[in-house]
Chain A
C-alpha cells in the first residue's frame, strides 16, 4: 500500500503521517507542499521524501493520497489526484461552497476513484459505543441532542519560531470558508447523520463575533440547530470559546435524550490531569484511542478491497450543505429548509 500526502496547510497532516509511519503494511512514498519551507520542515521531521510538486508525486502512481490543504484548495488537488486515478482521503470540510463540494464528488465518481471524507469521529471509540447502543434499540426514539464541539481560537504558533508554517488560514473567510461554524459543525453534523441514519431537513443558526473580536473577522461564537427527517432536533455549539490556556484544545460532547432517558458522550474524557511547574496550569493528557488510526485503516482497506470507504464524498457533501444552510440562516434569522 503506497500512499502520499498533499499539503501541510492543515495540522492534521502530522497526525496522519505519524499514524501511517507506524503501519508496517503502508509505505508513505512522499509528501508535497506548496510552501517550500514548510514542506522541508516536515519532510525532515518525519524523514520522508519531499516531491517538488503534486504532479511529481502523482507520477509515482501511489494507491492513495491524503489531501490536507486549506479548505478552499481541496478542489484543485482532488482534480489532479482523480485525473491520475488515485484514491483520495480528503480533509473535512470537503469544500467551502456547495458547488465545489458537488464538483469534488462528481469528479471522483466520473474518474472511478474512491473518495473518503476525513470524519475521524466515526472511528472514535466512545462514538462507536454510542452507535452500537442506538442500533440496539435500547434508547428508543431519540428526541434531541445537546452537543458541543468547541475549541480555542485556531491561531497557531504565534509566539514560537514557526510563523513559516502559515496555518492561520482557519480564521480566513476565503480559505476556510468562514469561522467557527465551518470549522466545528461538520463533525457533529456527520456523527448525528450516522447515529440517526437519516438526513437533516432544517438548519437554524445564531452566530456572533464577540470572542476574539478585533483579532479575527469571521464568526467566533455559534449555535446551530439541526432537525432531522425523523423529527430529532440537535443543537451544536461550535464556538471558539475555550481560552488559549484551557487544559486542552477543546472537546466534543453529546447528550442524547430519548424516550427512555439519557446517553452522554464526552469523546475526549479519557484524560489524566497533569500539573507541571513548567506550564503552571493544569493540562489534560489524552490517553484514549486514536480515531485517525481507524479512519486511515478504513481508507486503506477500501482501496485494497476495492469497496467504497465507510465515509463517502457524499457524506462530506451533506456536511457542507448543512454548514452553508447555517450561514444562510444566520443571515436571514430564520430556519433554512434542505
Chain B
C-alpha cells in the first residue's frame, strides 16, 4: 500500500520536503498552507492537490509532514495525533518545553510515530564523524566544537524567523541543529552557559551566540551560531577531540568547487541560507528516505527519537535563559 503524505507548509522547507518525497515510493497527496498561491504552485510541481482544509488533508493522509513555523507545530501535531496519523515535524519540535512534552504524550497515547527532522544527522560529513566516534576511532570524547553561521533570514512576507515569540530566534531556530548533534556525539547535557548579541543590542541586524555545554560524562562543547554573515555566506564546521584521536572538519575545508565568474545576474541570496556541497542526494532526501523506512518497516529504528527533539529544545531554551540571566543553567539530572 502506498504511503500517503500530506504536507503542511509550502515555504522553503515544505518545497524541500516535497522534492525529497518524490525520491521515495511514498505519494504526496496534498499540500496545505496559509498563503496562496504557494500551496497551489507547490502542489502543481509535485502533482498533488492543494488542500484548503487542513482537517481534510489530515483525514486523507497516512503521514502528516509539518513544515510550518515553529510556534504552530504543537497544535498541528496534536491534531494529527488525535486523528491517528504518523507525524514528521520540522525542528525545533516546539517553541516551548511544555508544548513538546504534550506532543510526545499525545503521540504515545495515539500510538503514532513522531519523527523530528533534525536533518544534520543526515548530512554525510556529520553522519560520518558520528560513525567514527561510535567505532571508537578517537576514544572518549573530550572537547567538541561546532559552528553554524549564516545571515538573517529575509522572508519577504511574514518573516516569522525574526519574531522571537514564534521562532525563539537564532539560538532556537539555528543552533538547535548543533545542540542536537553535540548531544548525539557526546551524550546528555548537564549544564549550559551562553552569550549572545540579540538580548544585549535590540536593534542588532542579526544575532551571534557562543554556547558552552557540559555533558554528563565530562565532555565539553563550544557551539557557535550566527545570523551574522553577509549573504549568501553559510559556513558549518566541527571538530571532535577524544582521548585517542581527533576529527577535524573546519568550515571551508571541503569545498569541491570554485566558481569565480564575473557577475552576470543580480546575485541575490536565497531567503534562508543553506550550506552548499554538491551531492548526488540532498541530505533532506536522505532524511525522508530514512523516515519512509521507519514508517513502513517497524523493524527500522528511527535515527531521531521524539525525546531527542525534546532534549535539544530544552538545551536551546536553557541557552537562551543563560544568555538572558548571565548564569550557567543546570539541566537537572542531565538531558
A204 within 8 A of B: yes
Question: For residues 223 through 252 of chain B, which have their beta carbon under 8 Å from a beta carbon of chain A?
Answer: 224, 226, 228-230, 233, 241-243, 245-246
Task: Decide yes or no: A146 and B222 within 8 Å by CB, A211-B143, A235-B212, A241-B246 being known contacts.
Answer: yes
Known: A143-B208, A223-B222, A225-B193. A257 touches B149 (CB 8 A): yes
* A221:B142 contact, CB within 8 angstroms: yes
Q: List, in ascending order, chain A residues with CB within 8 A of B193's CB.
A: 204, 206, 225, 335
Judge if B70 is at the interface, Cβ distance under 8 Å: no
**From DSSP, what is the main secondary structure of chain B's interface residues?**
strand
Select one of A223, A260, A261 contacting B220, CB under 8 A. Answer: A223
The answer to whether B208 and A237 touch across the interface, beta carbons within 8 angstroms, is no
- Separation of A241 and B144 alpha carbons in the complex (Å): 10
B interface residue count range (under 10 / 10 to 19 / 20 to 34 / 35 or more): 35 or more
Cβ-based interface call for A239 (8 A):
yes
Q: Which residues of B contact A235 (CB under 8 A)?
A: 210, 212, 222, 224
When the two chains form their complex, are residues B212 and A225 in contact, meaning their CB atoms are under 8 A apart? yes
Q: Interface residue tally of chain A, by bracket? A: 35 or more
Q: Tell me if A144 and B195 are in contact (CB < 8 A).
A: yes
The distance in angstroms between the C-alpha atoms of A223 and B210, with both chains bound, is 11
In angstroms, Cα B221 to Cα A143, docked, is: 20
Across the two chains, which residue of chain A brings its CB closest to B209? A144
Q: B246 is contacted by which of A143, A206, A243, A260 (Cβ under 8 Å)?
A: A243
Quick one: CB contact mask for B195-212 with A, threshold 8 Å, 1 for yes? 101001100111011101
Is the Cβ of B200 less than 8 Å from the Cβ of A231? yes
A148 to B147, CA, bound (A): 13
Please give me the residue from chain A that is nearest to B221 by CB atom: A223
Known: A206-B193, A333-B191. A261 touches B230 (CB 8 A): yes
A contacts, CB < 8 Å to B: 143-144, 146, 148, 202, 204, 206-213, 220-223, 225, 227, 231, 233-235, 237, 239, 241-243, 246, 255, 257-262, 333-335
A-B contact pairs, 5 of them (CB 8 A): A210-B242, A243-B245, A257-B229, A262-B233, A335-B193
**Extra 4 A-B pairs, beta carbons < 8 Å, given A144-B195, A210-B142:** A208-B218, A211-B142, A211-B143, A259-B206
